[in-house]
Structure 1
């Protein structure tokens, strides 16, 4: 199934609700001090591009965010697909859009932080299929048993 991935503002009520659902789903997976969530307001910053997937009714069913840290490095943030929509390619579509945008900006690498519990295994597979490789600590994140890091070198 093909999905239309569009760049939108995070400051929409239905997108805010999806951000809240993501936060609620992540809360029990590891301690709060090892969760690095962004609010809808932070996602709407000039250094971010938000990607949304909507279903045939217009309801958002997936999202992701590219946060640009400098002229070289971008970060994949807030990857999410509604539970009932998982396994349909939403994550891969959003991630492809993030990679394409990062390359169009001339970034040379993308990094990301994710969790280490088994609940994150589908995300690890998604990132690895897209060419991300596990790496050491990135950006400002602390080293911990609760966080796993990935890097992808871009062809930009």
Structure 2
């Protein structure tokens, strides 16, 4: 069973997973195309982080950044390697969509990679109703990015 809880990113396991996510984004993407938030940015006001747990082990993390009163952005989605294929990302995504609706948001937005390594993420988002769109907020056209949105 997957347990999802609000996370303050002070626990060793979630810190390690968030740091791994950030490091891998920088290792595999040119700096100008990396939009992953570091730990300090994830702790900023207006950003809520959740962690998913399976049998006492952190299985994934994800965040919601409030862009304005009506829009939120998904950030820092990461499933731990040992938990891939177990529905962790889908559970986190559905949790965040429900929370966004409860907060009265009318749309969610996200940026993810456009290369083959990000195909599973794009498929997950599309399967939950997200549609490709153009850049939003402070993003610009970038061939390494895919932008998606979901009307709530």
TM-score computed with the length of structure 1 as normaliser:
0.92
SS in 2 for 1:141: coil
| Aligned pairs (5 A) from 1:126-137 | 126-137=124-135
CA RMSD of aligned residues (A): 1.2
Q: Separation in 2 of the partners of 1:10 and 1:61?
A: 14
Tell me which of 105, 108, 111 is aligned to 2:106: 108
Q: Separation in 2 of the partners of 1:66 and 1:137?
A: 18
Q: Separation in 2 of the partners of 1:83 and 1:39?
A: 20
Q: Separation in 2 of the partners of 1:76 and 1:147?
A: 14
Q: Separation in 2 of the partners of 1:131 and 1:26?
A: 25
Which residue number in structure 2 is paired with residue 62 of structure 1? 60
Which residue number in structure 2 is paired with residue 138 of structure 1? 136
The offset of 1:61, in angstroms, is 1.5
Which residue number in structure 1 is paired with residue 12 of structure 2? 13
Q: Separation in 2 of the partners of 1:59 and 1:87?
A: 15
Q: How many residues align?
A: 152
State whether residues 46 and 66 of structure 2, in contact with CA within 8 Å, keep that contact through their aligned partners in structure 1: yes
Bigger drift between 109-118 and 14-23 goes to 14-23
Q: Separation in 2 of the partners of 1:108 and 1:89?
A: 25
Q: Separation in 1 of the partners of 2:44 and 2:95?
A: 18
Unpaired runs of 5+ residues, structure 2, are: none
The offset of 1:54, in angstroms, is 1.6
